[in-house]
């Protein structure tokens, strides 16, 4: 398992991950200050990416596309979703650091 997926698994165990479009959008709307950043899967539809980017920009939340696909994320999260909100600055930073 790569480092990004491992860190996402750690986020889940720590209760610091919100999964799915509706849940992430609700979290951004209600608690934007608690959201460290939003991750999108590499194979997420362009329409969905634009919608996520629009809502995140409005709330001042960073969005980052990760190289993992919907199916790879499902193996770790248990849900086939390409939109994840990380609620911890350190964990989000660790994921971002491992993208390049």
Q: Can you give the pLDDT at residue 1?
A: 53
Positions in the chain whose pLDDT score sits under 50: none
What does pTM read for this prediction?
0.95
d(CA 85, CA 83): 7
Q: What is the CATH superfamily name and number for domain 3-97?
A: Ribosomal protein L30/S12 (3.30.1330.30)
Sign of the CA dihedral with 14 first, then 40, 29, and 53 last: positive
Q: Can you give the pLDDT at residue 100?
A: 67
């Amino acid at each position: 398992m790569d480092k990004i997926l491992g860190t996402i698994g750690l986020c889940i165990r720590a209760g610091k991950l919100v999964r799915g479009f509706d849940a992430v959008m609700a979290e951004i709307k209600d608690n934007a200050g608690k959201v460290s950043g939003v991750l999108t899967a590499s194979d997420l539809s362009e329409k969905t990416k634009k919608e996520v980017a629009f809502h995140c920009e409005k709330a001042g939340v960073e969005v980052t596309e990760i190289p993992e696909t919907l199916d790879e994320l499902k193996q770790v999260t248990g849900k086939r979703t390409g939109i994840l909100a990380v609620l911890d600055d350190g964990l989000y930073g660790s994921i971002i650091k491992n993208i390049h």
